[in-house]
Amino acid sequence: MQKKYLKLNCLMTALVTTLLGLSFVNTSIAAQISDASQLYISSLAASCANCHGTNGNGVVGASIPLINTLTSKQMLTQLQEYKNGTREGTIMPQLSKGYTDEQLAAIAAQLGQKQ
Ligand code: HEC
């Protein structure tokens, strides 16, 4: 009789350990996915740094417009206008066409001021 309880006890311990292990793996996978998507968004936004400076802070001596003064919403509107041809420019019309609408939204959310 006691042996039976012992067996059950072992089984329960194994089950709890497995469940705890699984939940640990789950949270670390979720953290990795969120790290990876943040890295992806940062790398998209980094493609703007050559001309607009890191995080849109501008490049000293450059005559390129400063974009860190824009809100995310304003930035997205301008990027969409460059992409659909309603806003003129020398570089941005071509460049913005290289991104999907979702990518432009992610870039604007990353670089623009949050309001
Ligand atoms: C090769 C240089 C270059 C790169 C790279 C670049 N830009 Fe630009 N950007 C410009 C120039 C030059 C202008 C002025 C408009 C034009 O001539 O196209 C401009 C204008 C803008 C404007 C309008 C600012 C204003 O107030 O009028 C926004 C917004 C902008 N860029 C966002 C971005 C974003 C976001 C990226 C990255 C996806 C990016 N740019 C990458 C050169 C660049």
Cα gap 5→14, rounded to integer Å:
14
Question: Which structural domain range is residue 23 located in?
Answer: 2-111
Task: Please report where in the chains the tokens 């432009």 appear, as a residue.
Answer: 104
Ligand 1, atom 34, lies closest to the CA of 48
Q: Tell me, what CATH number does 31's domain have? A: 1.10.760.10
Number of domain units in the chain: 1
Q: Whose CA is nearest to atom 8 of ligand 1?
A: 92
Ligand 1 binding pocket (C-beta < 6 A) is 47-48, 50-52, 64-65, 67, 70, 75, 78-79, 89-92, 95, 107, 111
Give the model confidence (pLDDT) of 59-74 as tens digits.
999 899 999 999 999 9
Q: Which residues pair with 113 in a beta bridge?
A: 71
* pTM passes above 0.85: no
- Please provide residue 113's backbone torsions phi and psi, each rounded to the nearest 5 degrees: -70, 135
Other residues' Cβ atoms within 10 Å of the Cβ of residue 59: 14
pLDDT, tens digit, for every residue of 99-109?
999 999 999 99
